[in-house]
Amino acid sequence: MTLTGNHDEIQQGSTMNRVVGGAFRSTEFDPDYFLDLESSSIKGKVLSAYHAGGDSAVMLYIPTELDTEKNNWAFTSDKTIFKVAIINLPTQEIIEVTNLPGVSGDNFYGYASLYAEDGKAYKSFFTGDAARIYEIDLTTGVARAGAHIRGGKYIPVLSRFNY
């Protein structure tokens, strides 16, 4: 993929970029913000990313060594080859999520499928033997298995109602 902005062309794979002034105010990419995720500590390609409040995002990614032709459509299957990490967007610090085994892909990319509150993120994952809602501490990256999902593999929307 080739992106252009107020800088030279960038040939890129799986990266994080920032649009100057926000996506609705500009078509220019910030020349000072670029993160090559394939060369980062996760060494992988991002499948999906979800805003987790403040400056954090939770990413679902495939490690480079598993990104093979036979896994091209793995995100639509029950293959539990994907990993989860948290990124602090301004600092580009990446924390790999622990206590969460390999997960299957997010085959619906549901923006509302992750809910964040008070430094925790909540999202459903299928881990091969069970589908559960997991709580992820956004500071430490430690995941904790929660509610067991019966009769399905994903919860497409997580939210909170006050009534």
The domain segmentation of the chain, as residue ranges, is 1-36, 41-163
Pair of tokens at residue 24: 């609705």
Q: What is the mean pLDDT of residues 4-12?
A: 50
Q: What is the chain's mean pLDDT, rounded?
A: 83
Q: Indicate the class that CATH gives domain 41-163.
A: mainly beta
**In a 10 Å sphere around its CB, with 0-12 CB exposed, 13-18 middle and 19+ buried, how is residue 153 labelled?**
middle
Model-level pTM?
0.83
Tens-digit pLDDT profile for residues 124-149: 888 888 889 999 999 999 999 999 98
Q: Which pLDDT score, from 0 to 100, does residue 4 have?
A: 47
For 98-122, the pLDDT digits (tens) are 999 888 887 655 667 899 999 999 9
